[in-house]
Amino acid sequence: MELLFLFYVLYVITSLALGLLDQEFVDLSHDYFQVSARSGVPAMHAALLPPSGMVVFLDKVENYSELRLPNQRLAYSSLYDPQIRNVSPLAVTTNPFCCGGTFLADGRLVTLGGNAPLPELDPTVGDGFDAIRYIGMENGDYTWEEPGNKLASKRWYASAQTMADGTIFVAAGSLNGLDVLNSSNNNPTYEILDVNGLSNGRNFRMDILVENMPY
């Protein structure tokens, strides 16, 4: 704790000396949030992507999406460049509605679980209940990748956390998105993915998720 405080004091002194601190204070006499652009797609999820600082938005396909993919289908993910305020559509394979997400140690974002196909709006949307989706920068570009590896069980509303050793803790969720008070629909387990976000196929029971239903 003392060490942290020392660093903070040094930071303040250095910042004052460099005249940087003033610029970092938020001017509270003005609204802090300003609309700078549109996500172009429903934006249940948003994440800042390393190393570029681009922002990815993600949700299920909706008929009010403003962006379309090159194949004319409604987009349900987009990439926003805050530098030039440009938004572009991203293709996704499975329904990511209410998925969990976290970052892999190599900087890729991984999203886990989701919901059912949505044939009324887009028959190409795949079952996302046990999906694993990756996005990271490759050759200066970002695309969602779903090689086909799945979670060990279906998880709608999964929770995910990157552990100190780079493995991923994934817990809870609903097996089907049906009645949340019916324990048959609950998934009271966790699993651990490896540093590449791959499941070993094993679920472990978590009593706290049994005792505190729903997910």
Ligand X SMILES: *[C@@H]1O[C@H](CO)[C@@H](O)[C@H](O)[C@H]1NC(C)=O
The site string for ligand X over 185-204 (x = CB under 6 A, - otherwise) reads x-------------------
CB of 179 to ligand X, least distance (A): 6
Q: Does 63 bind ligand X (CB under 6 A)?
A: yes
Integer Cα distance of 61 and 69 in angstroms? 12
Q: Does 72 bind ligand X (CB under 6 A)?
A: no
| β-sheet bridge partners, residue 70 | none
Position among 14, 86, 182, 212 found at the interface with ligand X (CB under 6 A)? 182
Using the rule CB under 6 A, give the single segment among 67-75, 175-183, 194-202, 206-214 that binds ligand X.
175-183
CB of 154 to ligand X, least distance (A): 12
Integer Cα distance of 198 and 156 in angstroms? 18
Q: Does 159 bind ligand X (CB under 6 A)?
A: no
Position among 6, 13, 16, 178 found at the interface with ligand X (CB under 6 A)? 178
| 148 contacts 93 by C-beta, under 8 angstroms | no
| 140 contacts 165 by C-beta, under 8 angstroms | no
Position among 148, 184, 200, 207 found at the interface with ligand X (CB under 6 A)? 184
Integer Cα distance of 207 and 2 in angstroms? 38
| 166 contacts 123 by C-beta, under 8 angstroms | no
CB of 182 to ligand X, least distance (A): 4
Hunting for tokens 């004052």 — which residue is that? 16
* CA-closest candidate to residue 129, choices 117, 150, 113, 152: 113
Residues forming the site for ligand X (CB under 6 A): 63-64, 178-179, 182, 184-185
